Amino acid sequence: MDSVFICGASRGIGLELASQLCAEGRRVYGISRTPQPERPIDGLVYRSLAAEAFSLAAFPELSAETFDTVILNSAIFGPATQFSFDFPAAKLKAMFETNVISHYRVLQEIRPRINNNGSAQVWFIISKGGLQAGIRGRVAIGYRSTKAAQIALALSLVHPLGEQGISVYLIHPGSVATRIGGVKAKLSAEDCVANMLAIISRAGDYPSGTIFEHDGRPIKP
């Protein structure tokens, strides 16, 4: 994993991934709609770009790079009003744009820059709440439905990307102290990312399409 592209690199898990990967000496490129990362990361090549409008032309540094790993991390939780049927359809549509369609857009654009030597990996940062078993009772309509769609998208890409020598993996990061996870979450971003990088390092032992729990256990869709 020499070169890494991170979608959603300005804060939380994405920023911590950039920090730890740069500290390991990897070449790391990241995007987010935020003008700057929440803290400076030595070695991170960053551009303020909305994922749903991402293009290679808008990030010229990518023209000379090929990637071993692409990490799709960007997500929004959405408004507090999404727990009732009054949740506006327009806001649900906007959440699908950010949490699902933007990831597809990024992959379409960056695919020519991903290595096709059989070792490249695409990682989707998912929520276990998007799995069928997690959609029960009173849930956040927008967040749960978009994260379920993200999982379906990732699994739908296993075959077409596999034909190009690229593996697809999904990982639930656990309860993490980010804007989505909140301050009462069980894991710090630092510990979460350390766990994730350990899982990424041995993911090649598992078939493309494997979904991982934050502790490395494979879980069923």
Which residues constitute the domain of residue 153? 3-219
pLDDT exceeds 80 at position 143: yes
Could you tell me the CA-to-CA distances from 70 to 17, 91, 123 in Å, in that order?
Answer: 12, 28, 6
pLDDT at 180 (0 to 100): 65
Sheet holding 69-72, edge to edge: 44-48, 27-32, 3-7, 69-72, 120-125, 166-171, 211-212, 218-219
Asked if residue 69 lies in contact with residue 1, where contact means CB atoms within 8 angstroms, the answer is yes
pTM: 0.93
SS3 annotation, the chain: CCEEEEECCCCHHHHHHHHHHHHCCCEEEEEECCCCCCCCCCCEEEEECCHHHCCHHHCHHHHHCCECEEEECCCCCCCHHHHCCCCCHHHHHHHHHHHHHHHHHHHHHHHHHECCCCCEEEEEECCHHHCHHHCCCCCCHHHHHHHHHHHHHHHHCHHHHHCCCEEEEEECCCCECCCCCCCCCCECHHHHHHHHHHHHHHHHHCCCCCEECCCCCEECC
Query: What mean pLDDT is reported for the chain?
Result: 91
| pLDDT of the residue at 135 | 65
Overall domain count for the chain: 1
> Rounded to an integer, what distance in angstroms lies between the CA atom of residue 221 and that of residue 219?
7
Pair of tokens at residue 123: 């990682």
Q: How confident is the model at residue 130 (pLDDT cuts 50, 70, 90)?
A: confident
- pLDDT category at 186 given cuts 50, 70, 90 is confident
Confidence of residue 147 (pLDDT cuts 50, 70, 90): very high
Q: Are 182 and 195 in contact (CB under 8 A)?
A: no
| Res. 221: pLDDT tops 80 | no
pLDDT per position as a tens digit, 69-127: 999 998 888 888 888 888 899 999 999 999 999 999 999 999 999 998 889 999 999 99
Lowest mean pLDDT among 6-10, 123-127, 128-132, 164-168: 128-132
CATH of the domain at 133: 3.40.50.720
**Structural contact between residues 20 and 3, judged by C-beta atoms closer than 8 angstroms:** no
State residue 86's pLDDT score: 85
Average confidence (pLDDT) over 42-52: 93
